[in-house]
């Protein structure tokens, strides 16, 4: 049996990325690993999910990461979709909206997309 633990993304500016994820999504640092030429920070949500986002910063990396077609993305669900949308619009980080599906995407400082989902509606 398996369960999700974390997703990793590599970042060029660790502090900038941590600030983005904290401001945009309320994620907070839950653990850190400091190596000689890297730092890894795990960001967790306020809901207490066991699944975390791992931000990896490599000391010598200077050039942006090649995200290919950027088909990979994270997805987070919010209890207040309208407030989240207004906040992200104010931050200027909304990069794509699909009104027909009722979702939108924000983009982080390194170009990674994060899908924002509304609450699950039980029928």
Active site amino acids: 115
| Angle, helix 14-25 to helix 81-91, in steps of 10 degrees | 140
Tally of CB atoms within 10 A around 39:
15
3-state secondary structure of 91: helix
């Amino acid at each position: 049996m398996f369960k999700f633990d974390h997703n990793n993304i590599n970042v060029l500016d660790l502090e900038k990325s941590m600030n983005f994820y904290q401001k945009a999504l309320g994620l907070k640092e839950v653990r850190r690993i400091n190596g000689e030429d890297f730092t890894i920070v795990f960001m967790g949500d306020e809901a207490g999910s066991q699944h975390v986002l791992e931000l990896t910063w490599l000391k010598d990396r200077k050039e942006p990461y090649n995200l290919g077609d950027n088909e990979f993305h994270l997805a987070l669900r919010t209890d207040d979709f309208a407030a989240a949308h207004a906040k992200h619009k104010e931050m200027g980080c909304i990069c794509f909206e699909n009104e027909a599906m009722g979702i939108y995407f924000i983009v982080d400082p390194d170009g990674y997309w994060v899908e924002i989902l509304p609450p699950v509606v039980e029928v």
